[in-house]
Amino acid sequence: MSQETTLPARLSQVPPAKLAKTVSEVQTWVSDAFGRIATLVKSVQAAQTQADAVLAKLADTITTPEQYEEYVQVLRVAKKRSKEFDGQRTDIVGPVNQAVKRVNDLAKEGESGWERVSVRVERLLQAYRMEQQRKADAEARRIREEQIKQQEKERLTAEKKAVKLEAKGQVEAAQAVRENAELAAAAPAPTITVAPATPKVEGAHTRRYWHATVTDLAKVPEQYIIRTVNLKALEEHAKATEGKVPVPGVSFSYEDKDIVRT
C-alpha cells in the first residue's frame, strides 16, 4: 500500500538532467531535419524536371536490340536516382524517428507506473464483484431450498388433512385436497434472482466480454470455420518446380521483372 500511495509523487518527477538531455536532443534533431528538408525540396524540383524530360523522349515501344540495351541503361539510371532519394529520406526521418522514440520512451516511464496501479485495482474490483456474485448466487440457492422445504411441508399437511377427511367418510373432500396439493406442486417454480451488492459509481460501469474456446474442432459448425490457402507455400512450390508439377485446384503463372545493378 505504501508503494501505491507514494507512486504519484514518484511518477510526477522526472530527473532534470535526463529531461534536459532529451529536450536538447529533440531540438537538435528537429533543427537538422528542417535544413535537410529544404535541400530535399530543391532536389525534388530538379528531379521532376529531369524525369519529365526523359519521359517525353521515351518511345511507345522498343523495336531494336540497340534500343532495348539503351532502355536498360535508362532503367539503371532511374533506379539509382530513386535510391538516392530514398537515402535522403532516411537521413531526414531517421533522426526524427529517434527523437519520437526518445519522447515515447520518456512518456512510457510515467505510464508504466500508473499501468501497474490500474492492473492492481482492476484485479481488486473484479475479485470484489466475483465475491458479491458468489454471495448473491448462494443466497438465491438458499431461498430456493427454503421454498422447496415449504412446498414439501404444505404437501404433508395437505396429505394429513386428506387422511382425516377420509377417516370421516368425506372421500370427495379428501380427493379435492390432494388434487389442489398436486396442482400447487406442479406449478412452475418462480425464478429467484438476488442482485449482487456491488455499488454503482458515477462515471464507471462494467462491460461484459464473451470469449469462445474450441474444445472439439470436428464438432464446430462449418459457418464458424474460415478456410484459408497458403499462397506463400504454393508460390514456393511453383518456383521450385517452375510450375511443371500441378496442384489440384491451382493454376500457376509468372511474370518477368527487370533487375538492374545501380
pLDDT at 219: 94
* Number of neighbours of residue 181 by Cβ within 10 angstroms: 19
* Number of neighbours of residue 26 by Cβ within 10 angstroms: 18
Q: Please state, in angstroms and rounded to a whole number, the distance separating the CA atoms of residues 195 and 136.
A: 6
pLDDT at 247: 94
Q: Per-domain residue ranges for the chain?
A: 2-199+211-224
pLDDT at 260: 82
Low-confidence ranges of the chain (pLDDT < 70): 1-23, 25-26
pLDDT at 127: 92
- Asked if residues 177 and 165 have their Cβ atoms less than 8 Å apart, the reply is yes
* Number of neighbours of residue 100 by Cβ within 10 angstroms: 13
End-to-end CA separation in angstroms for the chain: 64
* Number of neighbours of residue 190 by Cβ within 10 angstroms: 9
- Asked if residues 198 and 168 have their Cβ atoms less than 8 Å apart, the reply is no
Please write the tens of the pLDDT for every residue from 147-164: 888 888 988 898 888 888
pLDDT at 252: 95
pLDDT at 234: 96
pLDDT at 19: 55
pLDDT at 1: 43
